[in-house]
Structures are given as structure tokens and as C-alpha cells.
């Protein structure tokens, strides 16, 4: 992850980072480290705004209020950066247009210029903007809710199968960083952006590992040493293996580098993909391990609410996708299959 407006100066083996607009020296830490991000965000908040004034009631004015709002500050960093790119594009293209003049057809015409995935991201930005406009009284109704997402053909990251999980474990022994990273991701179901910065401080006295997700800002809760839920009672050996794997390589973070630093998101992702290929497993990613865990919860009998808590989902509908799939699978297995 490369934060904007950061000046990087190499001094031998060191890279010194400064916040370019303010000249603030930033910590000598990976740029996705929470302390680095916090220092960068603090510097960002103090920089002067040289943007020209925006006329009242225009989209540009609404976007400025949105970016100064509590809702904006509560968005996850990576999500906020994505929304910022689209808000900047909307400001450049339509900033002088009055918010009250925006119609469904205008948003659909804007989305039509983009490929499906970027278009759906742009729609999210439009919904943030018009929700702000409605809140502030610039518009009476939010037409963005009438615009449908564009269907995408991609199936996303493939879910690891139990056989592939077993093959990975057979290839990478406990004590290797590959196994430690794998076990942490496979147990927690965390995204790599969260797993890369997990530490012992995320484990509460109640034995629950909890963390605020970088992408969404929502909380996720994973049983670490506390009693397991009844539907996960057979997972105790797996959980013990996770803790054993982490203890063998942990330091400042649970899966640090050989230099004792937190792993980057890209580095952790590549570590899992490379290790999978070395084990003869093709086309599997770190995010596929998140799907593996959430699928396992559903197939073990965990509820959609359990999936929401463990996976940190923001809405019940997201979690219900896993329980629906598990229910359909159970239907064709029959009574005997379900008893195994």
C-alpha cells in the first residue's frame, strides 16, 4: 500500500518518509503499519486546503461536506481511498452541477463509461454523496438508490477445499512462516490487510481475538482461547495447531518478517500464493482462506449471525450467502450424509 503525498528518500538501507504538503517526518515503519497510517492521517488533517471555493448546492460542495463528515472518517482506510478517487472524478466531471438536478439517468450514464467493477465502486461513491446531500437538505430524494449494480462475470477468489488445506499442511511443517501465515488466515478468516497487523494485544482477557477491519471499519471476533461454540466443538485440535504455529514465528506481529517487521499486505498475499504453488495447489489465494473458514462455519451449523461475528460482515445478507449454500449442499447429501 502506497499512501499519497508521501515523499520517500533513501539513505543507505533506510527509507525516510515525509508528508510532502507539511514536511512532517513519518515513522520508520511499513506504510501499512497502524502507527505510520495514524501519523500520516494526522499530517493530512493539518494541510491547507488550496482548492477553489465551491458554490452552495453543487456536487463539489456536497463532496467537501461529505469528506469532512463523521461518516467519512469512519470508513476503512482502503475503502475511503477508493471512494476518494471516485469523488475526485465526480468533482472534476460534474462538480459545478447542482445536486438537486441529478437524476437516475445521469448516474447511469456516468457508470456506463466504466467497466463493471469500477462502475459499481462509482455507484457506491454516488450513494455516499447523495446521502450527504439529502441529510443536508440539498435534495429531497436520493435517486442513487434506484440505480442497480452492474452484474459482473467474475466468481472472485476461489474457496480452498478441505483436500487442498490438508495438502498445504502436509507440505509446510509447523515452524515455517508459510504454515504460520496459513494457519492464522485459515482460522481467523481475516483479510490479509487485517492479518498482517494482528498482535497479541488483539486477544482479550475473555479469550476472544477481536480487531477492527481496515477495509470496512467493522469489528470481527474470533475464538482464540475461550470455549468454542457448540457447532465448532470438533475444531479444538485445529485451533491448538494455529496457536502452536503462531508461537513459533510471532514477534511484534503474529506473522512478522525475518527482520522483525510487520508484513505488507502484498507480501503476505504473495507468501500464501507462492507457498500454495510450491505445495502443488494452483489458483488459490489468501482471500480464498477467508471463504474457506466462513464456508466451514456454515457447513458446521453456525448461523448467519455467527458468520457475521467471525467474518466481521456489515450486513446479514452477506453472511446468509454461506448458510444458503450450506443448506443446499445438505439437501442433496441426505440424512445419512448429514450424520457423518
Listed by start position, the domains of the chain span 6-146, 162-338
pLDDT of residue 206: 96
Backbone conformation region of residue 66, classed left if phi is above 0, alpha if psi is from -120 to 50, else beta: alpha
pLDDT of residue 243: 94
* pLDDT tens per residue, range 146-197: 999 988 765 578 999 999 999 999 999 999 999 999 999 999 999 999 999 9
**Cβ pair 180, 255 in contact under 8 A:** yes
Are 133 and 56 in contact by the 8 Å Cβ rule? The answer is no
Grid cell 477445499 in the structure block, residue:
161
CB atoms under 10 Å from CB of 15, counted, come to 11
Residue 141 CB coordination number (10 Å): 10
Name the least confident of 67-71, 130-134, 252-256: 252-256
Residue 215: which residues within 8 A CB-CB, separation 6 or more?
A: 76, 78, 79, 191, 193, 194
CATH number of 6-146: 1.10.150.130
Assess contact for 252 and 260: CB atoms under 8 A. Answer: yes
The pLDDT, as a whole number, for residue 62 is 96
Given a cut of 80, whether residue 91 has pLDDT beyond it is yes
Place of cell 472518517: 73
Higher pLDDT: 209 or 153? It is 209
Check residue 84 and give its pLDDT: 93
User: What is the reported pLDDT for 332?
Assistant: 67
C-alpha closest to that of 32 among 287, 218, 273, 263: 263
pLDDT at residue 51 tops 70: no
Q: What percent of the chain has pLDDT over 90?
A: 61
User: Phi/psi at 208 (nearest 5 deg)?
Assistant: -105, 130
Task: Find out whether 144 and 110 touch, Cβ atoms under 8 Å.
Answer: no
| Predicted confidence (pLDDT) at residue 339 exceeds the cutoff of 50 | no
Integer Cα distance of 292 and 297 in angstroms: 9
Q: What is the mean pLDDT of residues 208-223?
A: 92
Task: Calculate the dihedral angle through the C-alpha atoms of 71, 72, 77, 82, rounding to the nearest 10 degrees.
Answer: 130
- What was the pLDDT predicted at 154? 59
> What pLDDT shows up at residue 26?
93
Find, among 65, 120, 73, 113, the residue nearest to 93 by Cα.
Answer: 113
Q: How far apart are the first and last CA of the chain?
A: 45
Reply yes or no on whether the pLDDT at 128 is more than 70: yes
pLDDT band for position 289 (cuts 50, 70, 90): very high
Q: How confident is the model at residue 251 (pLDDT cuts 50, 70, 90)?
A: low
What is the rounded average pLDDT for all residues in the chain? 89
Evaluate if residue 31 carries a pLDDT over 90.
no
Which H, E and C letters describe the chain, residue by residue?
CCCCCEEEEEECCEEEEEECCCCEECCCCCCCCHHHHHHHHHHHHHCCCCCCCCCCCEHHHHHHHHHCCHHHHCCCHHHHHHHHHHHHHHHHHHCCCEHHHCCHHHHHHHHCCCCHHHHHHHHHHHHHHHHHHHHCCCCCCCHHHHCCCCCCCCCCCCCCCHHHHHHHHHHCCCCCHHHHHHHHHHHHCCCHHHHCCCCHHHECCCCEEEEECCCCCCEEEEECCCCCCHHHHHHHHHHHHHHHHHHHHCCCCCCCCCCCCCCCHHHHHHHHHHHHHHCCCCCCCHHHHHHHHHHHHHHHCCCHHHHHHHHCCCCHHHHHHHHHHHHHHHHHHHHHHHCC
Per-residue pLDDT band for 261 (boundaries 50, 70, 90) equals confident
CATH 3.40.50.10470, domain 162-338, yes or no: no
Q: Residue 166 has what pLDDT?
A: 97
Mean pLDDT (whole number) for 8-26: 86
pTM of the model: 0.59
pLDDT digits (tens, 9 = 90+) for 226-243: 999 999 999 999 999 999
Name residues whose C-beta falls within 8 Å of residue 282's C-beta, 6 or more positions apart in sequence.
276
pLDDT at residue 333 in the model: 65
Do the beta carbons of residue 40 and residue 80 sit within 8 Å?
no
Q: pLDDT band at 338, cuts 50/70/90?
A: very low
Q: Is residue 335's pLDDT more than 60?
A: no
Q: For residues 236 and 81, which has the higher predicted lDDT (pLDDT)?
A: 236
What distances in angstroms separate CA 304 from CA 16, 32, 211, 323, one per listed residue?
A: 46, 31, 19, 6
Amino acid at each position: 500500500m502506497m499512501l499519497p503525498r508521501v515523499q520517500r528518500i533513501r539513505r543507505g538501507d533506510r527509507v525516510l518518509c515525509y508528508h510532502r504538503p507539511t514536511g512532517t517526518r513519518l515513522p520508520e515503519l511499513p506504510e501499512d503499519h497502524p502507527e505510520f497510517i495514524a501519523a500520516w492521517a494526522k499530517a493530512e488533517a493539518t494541510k491547507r486546503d488550496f482548492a477553489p471555493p465551491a458554490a452552495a448546492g453543487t456536487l463539489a460542495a456536497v463532496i467537501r461536506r461529505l469528506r469532512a463528515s463523521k461518516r467519512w472518517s469512519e470508513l476503512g482506510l482502503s475503502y475511503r481511498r477508493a471512494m476518494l478517487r471516485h469523488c475526485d472524478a465526480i468533482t472534476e466531471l460534474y462538480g459545478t452541477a447542482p445536486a438537486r438536478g441529478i437524476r437516475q439517468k445521469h448516474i447511469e450514464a456516468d457508470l456506463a463509461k466504466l467497466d463493471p467493477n469500477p462502475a459499481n465502486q462509482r455507484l457506491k461513491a454516488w450513494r455516499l454523496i447523495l446521502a450527504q446531500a439529502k441529510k443536508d437538505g440539498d435534495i429531497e430524494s436520493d435517486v442513487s438508490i434506484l440505480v442497480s449494480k452492474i452484474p459482473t462475470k467474475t466468481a472472485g477468489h476461489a474457496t480452498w477445499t478441505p483436500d487442498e488445506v490438508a495438502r498445504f499442511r502436509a507440505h509446510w511443517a509447523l515452524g515455517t512462516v508459510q504454515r504460520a501465515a496459513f494457519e492464522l488466515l485459515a482460522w481467523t478468516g481475516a483479510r490479509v490487510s487485517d492479518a498482517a497487523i494482528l498482535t497479541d494485544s488483539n486477544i482479550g482477557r475473555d479469550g476472544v481475538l477481536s480487531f477492527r477491519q481496515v477495509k470496512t471499519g467493522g469489528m470481527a471476533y474470533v475464538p482464540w482461547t475461550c470455549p468454542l461454540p457448540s457447532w465448532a466443538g470438533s475444531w479444538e485440535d485445529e485451533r491448538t495447531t494455529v496457536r502452536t504455529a503462531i508461537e513459533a514465528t510471532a514477534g511484534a506481529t503474529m506473522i512478522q518478517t525475518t527482520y522483525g517487521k510487520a508484513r505488507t499486505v502484498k507480501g503476505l498475499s504473495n507468501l500464501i500464493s507462492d507457498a500454495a504453488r510450491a505445495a502443488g495447489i494452483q489458483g488459490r489465494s489468501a482471500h480464498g482462506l477467508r471463504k474457506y473458514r466462513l464456508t466451514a462455519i456454515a457447513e458446521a451449523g453456525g448461523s448467519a449471525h455467527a458468520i457475521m461475528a467471525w467474518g466481521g460482515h456489515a450486513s446479514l445478507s452477506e453472511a446468509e450467502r454461506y448458510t444458503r449454500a450450506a443448506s443446499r449442499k445438505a439437501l442433496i447429501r441426505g440424512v445419512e450424509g448429514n450424520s457423518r
